[in-house]
Amino acid sequence: MKALFRSRIDMPTALEMTRGLAEGLAARGIEVVYDAGTGAALGAPGEPIASTDANVVVCVGGDGTILLAVQEMGRQRPLIGINCGEVGFLADLEPGDAMTALARIAEGFEVERRMRITLSLEGAPIGTALNEAVIMTSRPAKMLRFSVIYDDQPSERFRADGLLVATPTGSTAYAMSAGGPLVDPRIEGFLLVPLAPYMLSSRPHLISSDRTVEFALESAKPAHLVIDGQVQIELDPHARLRVERASDPALFIDVGRNFFEKVERKLRRL
């Protein structure tokens, strides 16, 4: 087995943990490499995560580290996260459990597939998200006007500070803070959450991923799109965005952590 380690490089404790875990696995006869950025930060060789042939990707950091790794992988690889951030909902391992768990993973593991969404702007692909994509006003205290279209049929028009479309995995992130429901990640659907809507009737929607969903801006006010908190794109006043289920889901190594137990442990007890 070959394991690629990806660390949050601006956090010394994460880098040192990464080095220690990588050396521990190497001592057990596992082939270990660092991604290019982590290798440079540790003064060691590295390889691009976009073209790695590793069997497993180990991310040490927070949810941002994991989201960026998923964004950059050319082909999705089974991934496990070790939390060095604050909440780290996508990271299934805590530092004290990491070495034992990684040694067990090296002997074999099962994979949980997590739906992602693909976004296109005026017909041109612009990115893929594991958590969410957010359309937000570029001018504070100014509202945007949207139309929502399901399967080419106009469904709703509303005014809000923005609009968020999340996966079930992303339901525990920005969508939850914006008032959306928690969604079992085994469900495949699009979660639409208006941000500070003007009308009380503008409520979150959970839509089957078999449908196509489009958003049409109907406002002269400037806006931008943020994908997984990593990529930002300026939008024209009358931009039209299309959301579809991505053909390649993210692959998470299953370490037996129940979703609802994680909600209780990481979100309800903060």
Q: Judge whether 63 counts as a catalytic residue.
A: yes
Among candidate residues 63, 92, 161, 228, the one labeled active-site is: 63
Question: What are the backbone angles phi and psi of residue 169, rounded to the nearest 5°?
Answer: -60, -40
Q: What are the DSSP calls for the chain, one per residue? A: -EEEEEE-TT-HHHHHHHHHHHHHHHHTT-EEEEEHHHHHHHTS-EE-GGG---SEEEEEE-HHHHHHHHHH-SS---EEEEE-SSS-TT--B-GGGHHHHHHHHTT--EEEEE--EEEEETTEEEEEESSEEEEEESSTT--EEEEEEETTEEEEEEEESEEEEE-SGGGGTHHHHTTPPP--TTS-EEEEEEES-SSTT---EEEETTS-EEEEE--SS-EEEEETTTEEEEE-TT-EEEEEE-SS-EEEEE-S--HHHHIIIIITT-
Could you give the residue numbers annotated as active site? Answer: 63
